[in-house]
Amino acid sequence: MLTALRCVIHRDLLLAMRRRADVLTALLFFVIVVSLFPLGLGNEPNLLRTIAPGVIWVAALLASMLSLTRMFSEDHADGTLEQMLLGSTPLGVIVVAKVAAHWLVSGLPLVLIAPVLALQFDLHQSLLWTLTLSLLLGTPVLSLIGAIGAALTLGLRGGGILLSLLVLPLYVPVLIIGAGTVDIESAGLSAQGHFLVQGAFLVIAATFSPWAIAAALRISAE
Amino acid sequence: MLEAANLECVRGDRTLFSGLSFSLNPGELLRVAGTNGSGKTSLLRILCGLLSPTHGEVRWQGGNIGSLREEYWKEIIYLGHSSAVKDGLTAMENLMVSCTLAGLTIDHEQARAALRCFGLAECEDLPAKVLSQGQRRRVSLARLILSDKLPLWILDEPFTALDTAAVDYMQTLIAEHVARGATVVLTTHQEAQIAAATLVTIDLTSRIL
């Protein structure tokens, strides 16, 4: 079981490495969207400081959506998905591996670059850590929820738009709590409660979404 | 033993077949024939559990495959229309990955030997996107050599895109597997010359309603 898990993660990372353009697109999108705000709004430090968490979170959310459609569609098109469905490993495990690989490729880079981008907003140094940690807890949830949508819209025409409509409302709580974590810390209060809620989101999403994704994949594969 | 009991398949508004029953014992080869669109692929997908039949059930060793799930999938190999070969991976990596997914533990030597059997000795480290259609097919078929212990092979058009030598080789491979006491189900348009003791043929053309 662990062999299959490792194998799928390794395979997806290898495929991503061999097609770096796809990975870089999402990352560049994130960098550009975030950078457009200080350019567009002018250099009013207080305004920038206030909007920074929200802007960075929304951009991260949209950037992680960009690569969602590709999560299962290629495996579906070339028949690999059928082999995964018929494998001796429970589909839930394979799905966890796919989501983990997706996060490593499209979520983790955003988390790592976010503090650098936050400097443009003159965010206080101690808040940079809060922002990074909140993204670190939040982006895996985005990948997990997004994967349910990607599995449900697999093989549909215009699936990309449908996917956004399906997934974005579900991202809202993650966004509110995620951006709120930085806001509350900048107000001088402890963000511990927000971190705990984010942790709870992650645990719940990681527990239940693999089954939902697996069930959705079986339906889509028919 | 693979049993199909009273299978019916409806795709869209069309009933492809209904009341289809058969049972296959170890050492039997089933060839599913029929015109395009007569439901060959659907039948094979039902037999391996990718598609649920509108009516009826498929049983493996007496148990419904819907409840056996991984127990059943551990014992079968299904090779469909699409070759399940990733463009970005080399032939070798493709074979290793597909074997791992199927739960077969193999090492590089075994994989290399299997690829060599299918005449891919020089191509094993080439990315699959530079391989021809027939070579990609061979990469996915190479898994059969490593799956000789599995009691059920379900092959959808295994001979497409292959040259005559490879078709001959595939036929011997299937014949050997059937002789070993395994069951093989396949669809093909070509008149396959497979020396099997028991060959059952189902023609779906006559069953179109």
Q: H or E stretch including B56?
A: strand B55-60
Report the DSSP beta bridge partners of residue B154.
Answer: B78, B185
CA distance to A105, A175, B10, B185, B189, per residue, from B202 (Å): 48, 57, 18, 11, 13
Q: Is A149 exposed, middle or buried (0-12, 13-18, 19+ CB in 10 A)?
A: buried
**pLDDT number for residue B208:** 52
Chosen from A9, A75, A82, A85 to mutate, greatest number of chain B CBs within 10 A: A82
Pick the most confident of A131-135, A153-157, B48-52. Answer: A131-135
Angle at B134 between CA B133 and CA B136, to 5 degrees: 65
Q: What share of chain A is helix, strand, coil (3-state, %, to 5)?
A: 85, 0, 15
Q: Looking at the predicted structure, is the pLDDT value of residue A176 above 80?
A: yes
When pLDDT is averaged across residues A90-112 and rounded to a whole number, the result is 95
Q: How many residues does chain B have?
A: 209
Q: Which H or E element spans position B9?
A: strand B2-11
Q: Please give the pLDDT value at position B196.
A: 64
Per-residue confidence (pLDDT) for residue A32, from 0 to 100: 96
Alpha-carbon distance B24 to nearest alpha carbon in chain A (angstroms): 21
Give A-chain residues touching B100 at CB under 8 angstroms: 3-4, 7
- pLDDT digits over B137-179, tens only? 999 999 999 998 899 999 999 998 889 999 999 999 999 999 9
What is the mean pLDDT of the segment spanning A88-94? 92
Taking the C-alpha atoms of residue B202 and residue A15, their distance in angstroms, rounded to an integer, is 41
Instruction: Identify residue B117 by its one-letter amino acid code.
Output: C
The packing angle between helices A70-78 and A125-152, to 10°, is 30
Please give the residue that has the higher pLDDT: either A27 or A1. Answer: A27
Confidence of residue B44 (pLDDT cuts 50, 70, 90): very high
CA distance B116 to B100: 19
Taking an 8 Å cut-off on Cβ atoms, the answer to whether A88 and B89 are in contact is no
Structural domain boundaries of chain A? 2-68+84-221
Residue B76 has pLDDT above 70, yes or no: yes
Average pLDDT over all residues of chain A = 93
Give the pLDDT band (50/70/90) at residue B206: low
* CA diameter of chain B: 50
Looking at residue A193, its pLDDT comes to 94
Whether residue A217 is predicted with pLDDT greater than 50 in this model: the reply is yes
How much is the pLDDT for B209? 47
Distance, in angstroms, between B74 CA and closest chain A CA?
5
Cα nearest neighbour of B47 on chain A: A86
Complex ipTM, two decimals?
Answer: 0.89
Q: How many CB atoms lie within 10 A of CB A188?
A: 6
What percent of chain A is predicted at pLDDT more than 90?
A: 76
A134 contacts A60 by C-beta, under 8 angstroms: no
User: Testing the interface with B: which of A88, A218, A220 to mutate, by most B Cβ within 10 A?
Assistant: A88
Contact state of A3 with B51 under an 8 Å Cβ cutoff: no
Interface of A with B (CB under 8 A): 3-4, 7-8, 11, 14-15, 18-19, 74, 77-80, 82-90, 94, 221-222
Whether the per-residue pLDDT at B194 is higher than 70: the answer is yes
Of A4, A78, A88, the CB nearest to B86: A78
Give the residue-averaged pLDDT of B10-32. Answer: 89
Q: E-strand spans in chain A?
A: none
Residue in B86, B87, B103 closest to A89 by CB: B103
Residues A33-72: pLDDT tens digits? 999 999 998 888 899 999 999 999 999 999 999 889 889 9
